[in-house]
Amino acid sequence: MAGLTIPDMRLRMTLGLLMIVVVAACAPSDADSLTTTTRLEPVTTTAPTTTVPLVAGCPDEGEFVEDGTIASVDQDQSDSSVIGHISWTTDESCDKFTFSFITSEGAPATTPPTVTATYVEGVPVIRIAVDADQTVVTDQLIETALVDRLYVVEALDGGMFVDLHLAGPAQARIRTEGTPARVILDLQPGIVEFPSAPAYSDLAVVVTPLDGATLGGTLSVSGYTRTFESNVLIIATAGNEVVAETFTTAAGGLVTWGEFQTEIVLPPGNLSLFVGDENAENGGLEGVTISLTVR
C-alpha cells in the first residue's frame, strides 16, 4: 500500500472495526427475525334466518267445499262433445284432475261444456256432469290418497257424468278453461268420513245404498252397469230365500257404463242385495252383492 504510513494504516483498521461493531449492533437478533403468528379464536356470527314453507297443497285460487254443489258452469255454445283425455297429478296434500274435451270430428275443443259438480249425498263420490254425448275413457283405476277410481257414465237424462270414488275425506273445487277446453278439479284432504265405498264389479257398480247400510223398507237403488242390452236385475235374499226382485234398464250399453235407478220394497231383517244380470250362456248371476239391514 504505497503512500500510506503505519499510523494511517492503524487508523483505517480502527475505523473498520468500529463499523463492524455498529452493523452488528443494528442487525436484528435471531429472536427478532422470527415471524410471529397470532392465533385468532373462532368468531360465531348469528345472522337473521328466514323459514320458507314447503311448496305443497293446492294453489290458493278459490274456495273448497266438502258437500252439496261444488260448482255449476253454464255454456250457451260449446264444441266439446266428447270427453277425451283424463289426467291427474298429485302430491301429499293435493290431487289435480284435468278433463280434456274434443269435438265430434276429433279435434281439440276450444270451449268447455256446461258442467255441474256435486257430492253424491251420503256417499264418498264426486259427480261431474257434463254436456257431452261420447267418451274416450270409460273407467280408470287412480289409487291416490284421495281418489280410488273413476267411471265415465252415460246419464239417464242425457249427457254424461264422471264419478270419482273417494279413497278418503276430500274437499273440492272446480274451474273451466278454454282453448283448449278443459275442466279442472282440485282436491285436498277433508274431514267427512264415510263407513264404506260403493261396491263394484266388472259389470256393475252400486252407488246407493252402501254396503252394510241400515235403512227403511222402501229402498232406492242406483248405480251403473255395463251389461248385455243394459239389463239390470235386482234380487234381495234372506239366507237362501228370495224376498224381493225387480228389473230395470240402464242408459248406454256395452260400450260405456250406463246409469240406472229404481226402487224396491224390502222386508225387515238382514238381507243380501244382488245387482247385475244373468249370464247369457249359463244363466248364472254376474254383478255385485251387498249386505243390508232393513228396519
Can you give the residue ranges of every domain in the chain? Answer: 69-189, 199-294
pLDDT, mean of residues 259-278? 97
pLDDT score at 219:
94
Q: What's the CATH architecture for 199-294?
A: Sandwich (2.60)
Whether 147 and 125 have beta carbons less than 8 Å apart is answered as no
What band does 56 get if pLDDT is binned at 50, 70 and 90?
low
Whether 176 and 115 have beta carbons less than 8 Å apart is answered as yes
Give me 196's grid cell: 264404506
What is the pTM assigned to this prediction? Answer: 0.79
- Residue showing cell 242425457: 158
pLDDT score at 139:
96
CATH number for domain 69-189, candidates 3.30.70, 1.10.3470, 1.20.120, 2.60.40:
2.60.40
pLDDT, mean of residues 248-273? 93
How high is the mean pLDDT of the chain? 84
pLDDT, mean of residues 198-220? 96
**Same fold flag, 69-189 and 199-294:** yes
Beta strand ranges found along 134-256 (DSSP E): 134-135, 139-141, 147-154, 160-166, 170-177, 182-189, 199-200, 204-208, 214-215, 218-225, 231-238, 241-249
What amino acid occupies position 187?
A: L
**Rounded Cα distance, 168 and 154, in Å:** 25
What band does 10 get if pLDDT is binned at 50, 70 and 90?
very low
Across the strands, what pairs with 186?
Answer: 96, 173
